[in-house]
């Protein structure tokens, strides 16, 4: 049993962490903080937790958090970087579900997030928490930067092709679609049911923060620049990400199905579908799994990869728990055995 705290528990990644950790066999939840809701029982805000989580929200105070073995940050971007150095100094390990430690280059971070980084020196130490790439480093990490939701779905889909050097990495295309919970639990007109329901649209076409994160991940593999067009869309549903990925094959010879199956053999949370299958987001609803299919429509040179995750599970809180399991030597699937909800 480890002692765990959550900073910023009123958003969707916060409640999802609680849902997962409340039934985790190795975790004792000791604190969940929220400035705005301090004093409110968690289960009052999130009635699904009634009978499962007895905690009330508290002010985010170092005094409480420093007694934890692990602290999750489920805060808006820019909060974690102000508290993480002190926690690390007190021997508390950290998983940040926000973007503060995802980009290694502080200048790039500033450019995309519009603020100076509060602890650029800590950036170098942060481990990017995509277990399928970094499992070893995660095991030893004091600080894990949990990947973004789109970057998880997109990188897992591109990785086999890029690692094998099979595709032109100068012109990758990621056409991605997300349910509305990806925008967070903020009162914004555009995300009202009466605005976003029964409609579909692209957003952030001019530039989205997940683009440099994905590029960084793929460039690490290629050891050179990668060209990536990234277009996100809003789907009228609550949960789920579907990434449709396009890449140009350099040669005709690869057995793509075998390549993908080999790459993810043994991965507990990546499921390569049989040839010809097409994943649906509901097949991962509530579950910590990425389902992937690879296609070559009409036998042409353009590979199409379909990759689905639940943006709040494998795209956020589930992956964070997976990282925790790795960091503390628990069974990697501990607390993550739930099956997706169909229908």
Least distance in angstroms from the C-beta of 183 to a second copy: 7
Of 116 and 342, nearer to a second copy (C-beta) is 342
Burial class (CB in 10 A: 0-12, 13-18, 19+), 40: middle
Task: Specify the residue for token string 């940050």.
Answer: 73
CB 249 within 8 A of CB 301: yes
Nearest to 311 by CA among 212, 177, 219, 201: 177
Which one of 68, 119, 149, 290 is the catalytic residue? Answer: 149
The verdict on whether 68 is a catalytic residue reads no
Least distance in angstroms from the C-beta of 206 to a second copy: 6
Of 35 and 171, nearer to a second copy (C-beta) is 171
Of 1 and 206, nearer to a second copy (C-beta) is 206
Of 102 and 285, nearer to a second copy (C-beta) is 285
Of 66 and 302, nearer to a second copy (C-beta) is 302
Q: Which residues, in sequence order, are bridge partners of residue 33? A: 7, 58
CB 27 within 8 A of CB 53: no
CB 34 within 8 A of CB 7: no
Token representation of residue 215: 């590029």
Least distance in angstroms from the C-beta of 86 to a second copy: 31
Q: Distance between CA 111 and CA 265 in Å, rounded?
A: 38
Least distance in angstroms from the C-beta of 54 to a second copy: 13
Q: Distance between CA 136 and CA 125 in Å, rounded?
A: 14
Task: Specify the residue for token string 């793929």.
Answer: 218
φ/ψ (deg, to 5) at 236 = -75, 70
Instruction: Residue 206: count other Cβ atoms within 10 Å of its Cβ.
Output: 5
Least distance in angstroms from the C-beta of 336 to a second copy: 11
Catalytic residues: 149
């Amino acid at each position: 049993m480890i002692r765990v705290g959550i900073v910023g528990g009123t958003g969707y990644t916060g409640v999802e962490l609680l849902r997962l950790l409340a039934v985790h066999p190795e975790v004792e939840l000791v604190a969940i903080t929220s400035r705005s809701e301090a004093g409110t029982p968690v289960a009052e805000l999130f009635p699904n937790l009634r009978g499962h989580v007895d905690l009330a929200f508290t002010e985010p105070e170092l005094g409480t958090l420093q007694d934890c073995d692990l602290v999750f940050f489920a805060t808006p971007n820019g909060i974690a970087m102000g508290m993480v150095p002190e926690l690390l100094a007190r021997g508390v390990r950290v998983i940040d579900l926000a973007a503060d430690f995802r980009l290694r280059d502080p200048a790039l971070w500033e450019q995309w997030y519009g603020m100076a980084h509060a602890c650029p020196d800590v950036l170098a130490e942060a481990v990017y928490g995509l277990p399928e790439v970094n499992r070893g480093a995660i095991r030893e990490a004091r600080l894990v930067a949990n990947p973004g939701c789109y970057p998880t779905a997109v990188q897992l889909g591109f990785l086999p092709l890029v690692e094998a050097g099979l595709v032109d990495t100068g012109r990758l295309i990621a056409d991605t679609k997300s349910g509305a919970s990806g925008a967070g639990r903020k009162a914004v007109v555009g995300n009202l049911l009466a605005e976003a329901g029964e409609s579909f649209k692209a957003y952030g076409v001019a530039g989205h923060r997940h683009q440099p994160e994905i590029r960084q991940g793929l460039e690490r593999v290629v050891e050179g620049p990668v060209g990536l067009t990234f277009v996100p869309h809003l789907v009228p549903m609550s949960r789920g990400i579907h990434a449709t990925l396009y890449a140009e094959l350099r040669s005709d010879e690869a057995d793509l199905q075998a390549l993908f199956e080999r790459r993810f053999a043994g991965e507990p949370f990546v499921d390569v579908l049989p040839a010809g299958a097409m994943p649906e987001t509901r097949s991962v609803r509530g579950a910590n799994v990425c389902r992937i299919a690879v296609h070559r429509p009409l036998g042409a040179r353009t590979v199409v990869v379909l990759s689905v995750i639940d943006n709040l599970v494998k795209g956020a809180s589930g992956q964070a728990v997976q990282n925790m399991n790795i960091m503390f030597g628990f069974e990697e699937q501990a607390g993550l055995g739930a099956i997706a909800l169909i229908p």
